Structure 1
Amino acid sequence: MTFVVTEACIRCKYTDCVDVCPVDAFREGPNFLVIDPDECIDCAVCVPECPVNAIYGEEDVPADQQHFTALNAELSREWKPITKTKLALPDAEEWSRIERKLDQLKR
């Protein structure tokens, strides 16, 4: 099993999760993070670090977010690793309250 970053991360991109990942499984896009399923070791240390509750175990991803499992796998092959915490996006707090924002994902 792997962990999956879901829609809540889009346009927030808090990176608290990155520092605690022991295998550097996170990948960074313009306004979203993903987890490389081939690197993730299922340790779950990233889950409580996410301030917007965007990270789930693959088996626990909500039904309406299931497509993010494949999206994480796809984008992790395209995006570069991120290994250190960065500042969240400037308007992250505003976007953290918005639920449906897949149309905002930048590749």
Structure 2
Amino acid sequence: MSETIFSKIINREIDADIVHEDDQCLAFRDINAQAPMHILVIPKKPIDMLVNAEADDQALLGHLLLTARQVAKDEGYSDAFRLVVNNGEAVGQSVFHLHVHILAGRDFSWPPG
């Protein structure tokens, strides 16, 4: 996987408003927020898209979701938030480093998009 803005954030080459970090992932506020709370959770392991995750990434993928839940709770949104994972440019993925968007603090419509 080529270097991305997210790998530069992981390596502390670019500043970010980090709200959570552990040995497997990092969570930080999106600079182009689409909701009052818009935080990205990214794995430290470089995976470009969900479709390219492997079977041995199962625990990491679960960890990302559990981390998203905890971050939402820590931000005061434990009972109402949306998680989004885009897979591919055609559906809005602009940084090719797997990431989970946590959005909360406003009404959302269905279907999204």
Common fold, TM-score beyond 0.5? Answer: no
Work out which structure has the larger RCO, using CA pairs closer than 8 Å and 6 or more positions apart in sequence: 1
If each structure's strand is expressed as a fraction of its own residues, which one has the higher value? Answer: 2
The two structures have a TM-score, normalised by structure 1, of: 0.29
If each structure's helix is expressed as a fraction of its own residues, which one has the higher value? Answer: 1
The two structures have a TM-score, normalised by structure 2, of: 0.29
